Structures are given as structure tokens and as C-alpha cells.
Amino acid sequence: MRTRRVVWLDDRPDHEASQTCLTYCVELSKYFSAGNDLLLDISRRQGTLLSIFDGDANLSCAYVTGATASMLSYLGLHVLKNPDGYQPSSCSENKRRLFAQVFSGDKLSVAFTGRPPLISRRYCSTSLLLDLPDEVLSLDQETITRAAESLDSKGWNTDGAVYSATVIRARYICAVVRDELLEMALVPDQDIPREQILFVDPLAKQSMMCPG
């Protein structure tokens, strides 16, 4: 490995050093595992960083986001249905958060580049993550269960707070609507059925169900 020094500019580390460190993290992780939740999250973050500094149109960004989407489906995070009597845990909720973040990021990338989506809602059945605070998920199972029982019927928190899970949930719901719209917009030289256009309306209404 090359020796790297973090360069500080205006109290911020140089973005090239950050990209290098993330790349090393991904490559080292691949030596120990073909794929896991942690590696998926690092890959997702690397894609976000490349999107910011290199741009969505850059091949390096497309390569990393493609690898992230492939790893997500390889791990099966797109088909995580809640079983009867589902008891949330830090592991299960983290998987759902990762899926929602990768799915939402894919739709934003498609909106900017016009490329076909890497993940389609048609092949995903993962249940929506619960609106639980990060600190609760690091506690014991009994505390997590009590916090989950305090949520409303749709899985939103009832204390009016905005947690990271709150934002991820809201972005995912909007991303599902965006996926439907992008699917129609990217179809080449084909008339869109009226029924398909009308179906967007209930999806849009669902996105408005997010708490204020």
C-alpha cells in the first residue's frame, strides 16, 4: 500500500485521501469476505463520496454503485419480508436500512444520468424499516421491542422526533414513486397505458402519508 497523509483544508480532510481510505477498506474487506452488511455499507458510502466529488456521470461512480447493487442482491437484502410476529433487532433493522438507502440512491442516480435503474421495485419485497432511534437499536432486545410497540400502525415514531430512520423511510417511500415515474420515462418509443399513469396517483398519496 502507498503511504497516505490526510491533508486538512478549512478543517476538512482532503477528499482524495478519504476516497483512498475507503477504497482500501473495501479491498481489505474483500480478502476476508465475499460480501456482508458492513462491506455493503462501506461500498454504499464510497459510491456516495464518488457521486459528490467525481459526479454521477463518472465511470468510477457507476462502477462502485453497480457493485453495491450487485452485492445487495447477492446478500438477499431485497427480499426480506417480515415474518409473522416479527421482532425487530439491530441486525434485521440495519439490513432494511441498507436496502432502503441503496434503493433510494439508485433512483437519484437514474434521475441525474438517465441510465436504467440497477434495482427495480418489481423484484423487491423487503419490508419498510421501522422508525426507531439509532441508540435504541444498540440496546437489549427487550428495549427494542418496547420501542417498536410505541410506534404507530404504519411504523412511524409517535414522539414527533426526526431520526435517521425517519429520513431514510421518507426517502424510500418517495423513491418508490420515483421508480414508477422513471420506468415510464425511460421506456423508448412506447405508449404508456393510461392505467399505469393512473397508478402513480395512489403511490404519490402514499408518499404524502409521511408525518409532517
Higher pLDDT, 47 or 7: 47
Q: Hey, is 8 helix, strand or coil?
A: strand
Looking at the structure, tell me whether residues 71 and 96 fall in a common domain.
Answer: no
114: left (phi over 0), alpha (psi -120 to 50) or beta: left
Q: What is the pLDDT of residue 205?
A: 62
Do residues 91 and 132 share a domain?
Answer: yes
pLDDT for res 1:
44
In this prediction, residue 188 carries a pLDDT of: 77
Q: Please give the pLDDT value at position 54.
A: 85
37 and 138 in a single domain? The answer is no
* Class of residue 50 by CB neighbours under 10 A (exposed 0-12, middle 13-18, buried 19+): buried
As a whole number, mean pLDDT of residues 29-58 equals: 88
CA distance to 101, 174, 181, 195, 211, per residue, from 184 (Å):
22, 16, 5, 12, 28
Residues 130 and 171 in one domain: yes
85: region left, alpha or beta (phi > 0 left; psi from -120 to 50 alpha): left
Residue 180 has pLDDT above 80, yes or no: yes
Number of CB atoms found within 10 A of residue 170's CB: 19
Cell numbers given for 142: 427487550
How many domains, the chain? 2
One domain for residues 122 and 166: yes
- Binned at pLDDT 50, 70 and 90, residue 212 comes out as low
Cβ pair 24, 13 in contact under 8 A: no
Q: Given the C-alpha cell 497523509, which residue does it identify?
A: 5
Maximal C-alpha separation, the chain: 59
- My answer on whether 38 and 141 are in the same domain is no
Give the residue from 75, 104, 125 where a domain finishes: 75
116 and 49 belong to one structural domain: no
The verdict on 92 and 60 lying in the same domain is: no
Last residue of a domain, one of 31, 48, 75: 75
Provide the 10 A C-beta neighbour count for residue 180: 18
Shared domain check, 155 and 101? yes
Handedness of CA 141, 160, 130, 167 (dihedral sign): negative
Question: pLDDT by residue (tens digit) across 149-166?
Answer: 999 988 999 988 999 999
Question: Residue 106's pLDDT is what?
Answer: 95
If asked whether residues 150 and 58 sit together in one domain, one would say no
- Which one, of 6, 41, 5, lies nearest residue 26 by Cα? 41
pLDDT score, position 13: 57
Q: Quote the domain boundaries for residue 154.
A: 82-212
**In the prediction, which pLDDT does 78 show?**
96
Identify the top-confidence range among 11-20, 54-63, 137-146: 137-146
pLDDT digits (tens, 9 = 90+) for 109-136: 999 898 999 999 999 999 999 999 999 9
Q: What pLDDT, on a 0 to 100 scale, did the predictor assign at position 17?
A: 77
Say yes or no: 7 and 104 in one domain: no
Query: What count of Cα atoms within 13 Å lies in the side-chain half-sphere of residue 17?
Result: 10
59, 75, 91 - which closes a domain: 75
Q: Is the pLDDT of residue 12 over 90?
A: no
pLDDT at 15 over 60: yes
Each residue's pLDDT tens digit, 53-109: 888 888 988 999 999 999 999 999 999 988 888 899 999 999 999 999 999 999 999
Q: Please name which of 112, 80, 121, 77 lies closest in space to residue 98, comparing C-alpha atoms.
A: 77
Q: Kindly compute the dihedral angle of the four CA atoms of residues 1, 54, 35, 70, in this order, to the nearest 10 degrees.
A: -140
Q: Does 112 share its domain with 206? A: yes
